[in-house]
Amino acid sequence: MRDGNKSEPHLEVYDTTLRDGAQAEDVSFSVDDKVRVAQKLDELGVHYIEGGWPGANPKDIEFFRIIKTIPFKHATVVAFGATRKASNPVQKDPNLQALLAAETETITLFGKSWNLHVTDALGITLAKNLELIGDSIAYLKDKRRRVFYDAEHFFDGYKADPDYALETLRRAVEAGAERVILCDTNGGTMPWEIRDICKAVKQHCVVSLGIHAHNDTEMAVANSLVAIEAGIVQVQGTINGIGERCGNANLCSIVPNLELKMKRSVLGEKRLRHLREVSGFVSEIANLMPNKHQPYVGDAAFAHKGGVHIHAVQKNPATYEHIIPEKVGNRQRMLVSDYSGRSGLVGKAEDYGLKLSKDNPKLQELVATLKDLESEGYQFEGAEGSFELLLRKAVGKHKPSFELLGFRIIVEKRHAKEPSISEATVMVKVGDVIEHTAAVGAGPVNALDHALRKALEKFYPQLAEVKLLDYKVRVLAATQGTAAKVRVLLESGDHKEKWGTVGVSENIMEASWQALADSIEYKLMPHEP
């Protein structure tokens, strides 16, 4: 029996991005990717990094071979695997041998806690399952490994048969498990159930407990936090909540909630400031589009659009921000829209190094122009490059770098089984010089981009640095069919920054031209007042 410590125990952050997170749809880490993410997680200061399942695939075997040559400052790398198969003795079980070959000091072993899985999934008796748990852990302990035990489907198992579920934990502890992690594997348990079951288990388990929650009911973060309230000391999750099905508990929400809301130190204030950076890094490596609306670390987490909100936040950020954004490495943003009003535009002007007083007549003209443009379908929230150009033009601080004299695009398909060919011709004027150039591309927009830059690079060599990173088209009035206006949103970048630009027209190529031209103008614009 255990009555628990009166003082709050030290909390452990256990990251499973490289194992459970890698099981997410659309995610595939290379070995090099996994090594880089592990190093980033170590810099963040997590306590444990689950590197993968060495018995499951060659990629994870290679990862563990490489990672043991890399010194870590904070984290312990953990190998993950299952208890032995019922037909294998421990000495000959391939999974256990692969775990030992990974040469990690700590191993996380999972086993069945739900009688349904024992009888229906494994097809063995309840007694045999207890045997698998006990001798698998004991074998690894005999090999001088520290063992954490993941009680898979524990909460479902406890609700079905609490005595048997607890017996699986008891067998794991008797065999030498140093942590017992209660897993909500199907992600269907509610927070009040988590709290009650964790409190009950804590009275029966003589080792420290962990929580591993999945997000199938959008409760993974809440379930993790109430488990910690109930005395759990190890919280498992993934960066950005990636994982199988609906994902895992999101450490990018759990950690700041613990640090800033529950006043439980896990990483410390200094490392917490790198949370957004790590979130973006993992999204980039996983080739996933970052969720801009993600709490704490998303682009929109501290973004303000309504004029009333902006006016209040400029007086006191606490009026509409629950924390200081910089605490998690984020920043306050003022979105540009027809909701912004003069206060928001003055604030944006200051961001660009422009002084614009509230009584400046050009400000009211700009507000009116912005409202007119947005009524036509323009949207500047994701196109701040276009908005900065608009603002500088309004106050007389922008001189165009080139003038379009015309463009033509030809799309030709010569044979049904051959890909189409796109060719763009542009005529631009730079100073007194007229440049007429043609280029081909993978599509009409790509061809237009190539032709424009080909025409301008002799005048502006720095354009060679610019890459077109993303291209989106939105139909603005679907009821008008092919005659509807479209909005084109581009994201461009160089080795220093990224910027968004926008164009709107009934003609998709005209809208694309507007966004492309703004992208080039933004790059060439001197970013000083």
Q: Are 416 and 514 members of one domain? A: no
Torsion of CA 396, 400, 404, 409, to 10 degrees: -110
Torsion of CA 390, 392, 397, 399, to 10 degrees: -40
Q: Does residue 341 belong to any structural domain of this protein?
A: no
Residues forming a β-bridge with 88: none
Q: Does residue 349 belong to any structural domain of this protein?
A: no
Closest CA to 255 of 46, 22, 75: 46
pLDDT single digits (tens) 187-204: 999 999 999 999 999 999
pLDDT single digits (tens) 486-505: 889 898 988 888 898 999 99
The pLDDT assigned to 343 comes to 61
Q: Are 470 and 433 members of one domain? A: no
Q: Tell me, what CATH number does 444's domain have?
A: 3.30.160
Higher pLDDT, 387 or 146: 146
Q: Are 254 and 248 in contact (CB under 8 A)?
A: no
Q: Are 80 and 171 members of one domain? A: yes
Higher pLDDT, 468 or 156: 156
The sign of the CA dihedral 111, 116, 119, 123 is negative
Task: Among 285, 307, 336, give the residue marking a domain's end.
Answer: 285
Residue 529 pLDDT grade (very low, low, confident, very high; cuts 50, 70, 90)? very low
The sign of the CA dihedral 316, 318, 320, 324 is positive
Q: What percent of the chain has pLDDT over 70?
A: 94
Which token pair is 264? Answer: 């439980």
Residue 348 pLDDT grade (very low, low, confident, very high; cuts 50, 70, 90)? confident
Mean pLDDT of 9-31: 94
Q: Are 451 and 494 members of one domain? A: no
Q: Are 255 and 182 members of one domain? A: yes
Residue 527 pLDDT grade (very low, low, confident, very high; cuts 50, 70, 90)? low
Single-letter amino acid code for the residue at 199: K
Distance CA 119, CA 181 (A): 22
Q: Are 453 and 461 in contact (CB under 8 A)?
A: no
Q: How many CA atoms lie within 13 A of 277 on its CB side?
A: 12
Q: Are 278 and 44 in contact (CB under 8 A)?
A: yes
Distance CA 363, CA 370 (A): 10
Task: Among 244, 264, 285, give the residue marking a domain's end.
Answer: 285
The least confident of 87-91, 104-108, 253-257, 280-284 is 280-284
Q: Are 264 and 204 members of one domain? A: yes
The pLDDT assigned to 340 comes to 54
Q: Are 155 and 124 members of one domain? A: yes
Q: Does residue 95 belong to any structural domain of this protein?
A: yes
Residue 133: what are its φ and ψ, rounded to 5°? -65, -50
Is pLDDT at 440 greater than 70 in this prediction? yes
pLDDT single digits (tens) 354-397: 777 777 777 778 878 877 887 888 877 678 888 888 888 887 88
The pLDDT assigned to 504 comes to 93
Is pLDDT at 478 greater than 70 in this prediction? no
The pLDDT assigned to 39 comes to 96
Q: Does residue 242 belong to any structural domain of this protein?
A: yes
Is pLDDT at 418 greater than 90 in this prediction? no
The least confident of 1-15, 59-73, 87-101, 193-207 is 1-15
Is pLDDT at 309 greater than 90 in this prediction? no
Distance CA 76, CA 125 (A): 35
Q: Does residue 350 belong to any structural domain of this protein?
A: no
Please tell me the total count of domains within the chain. Answer: 3
Distance CA 49, CA 102 (A): 14
Single-letter amino acid code for the residue at 166: L
Q: Calculate helix-pair angle for 508-524, 384-394, nearest 10 degrees.
A: 70
Mean pLDDT of 80-109: 96
The pLDDT assigned to 50 comes to 98
Q: Are 438 and 519 members of one domain? A: no
pLDDT single digits (tens) 394-413: 878 888 899 999 999 999 88
**DSSP H helices in 293-407:** 307-315, 341-351, 361-376, 384-394
Residue 434 pLDDT grade (very low, low, confident, very high; cuts 50, 70, 90)? very high
Higher pLDDT, 78 or 385: 78
Mean of the per-residue pLDDT values for the chain? 90
Question: Rounded to an integer, what is the distance from CA 146 to the centroid of its chain?
Answer: 31
Is pLDDT at 475 greater than 90 in this prediction? no
Mean pLDDT of 33-39: 95
The least confident of 30-34, 291-295, 494-498 is 494-498
Q: Does residue 306 belong to any structural domain of this protein?
A: no
Q: Does residue 321 belong to any structural domain of this protein?
A: no
Q: Tell me, what CATH number does 368's domain have?
A: 3.30.160.340
pLDDT single digits (tens) 210-250: 999 999 999 999 999 999 999 999 999 999 999 999 999 99
Distance CA 231, CA 8 (A): 8
Q: Are 109 and 145 members of one domain? A: yes
Residues constituting the chain: 529
437, containing H or E segment: strand 433-441
Distance CA 284, CA 278 (A): 10
Task: Among 434, 459, 484, give the residue marking a domain's end.
Answer: 459
Q: Does residue 302 belong to any structural domain of this protein?
A: no
Q: Tell me, what CATH number does 89's domain have?
A: 3.20.20.70
From residue 26, how far is each of 22, 29, 283, 289, 464 by CA, in Å? 9, 10, 11, 11, 32
Q: Is 491 helix (H, G, I), strand (E, B) or coil?
A: strand
Single-letter amino acid code for the residue at 336: V
Residue 528 pLDDT grade (very low, low, confident, very high; cuts 50, 70, 90)? low
Q: Are 28 and 54 members of one domain? A: yes
Q: Are 472 and 387 members of one domain? A: yes
Q: Are 60 and 87 members of one domain? A: yes
Highest mean pLDDT among 28-37, 171-180, 373-382: 171-180
The pLDDT assigned to 4 comes to 41
Distance CA 34, CA 152 (A): 24
Domain coverage including residue 367: 355-395+466-529
Residue 272: what are its φ and ψ, rounded to 5°? -60, -30
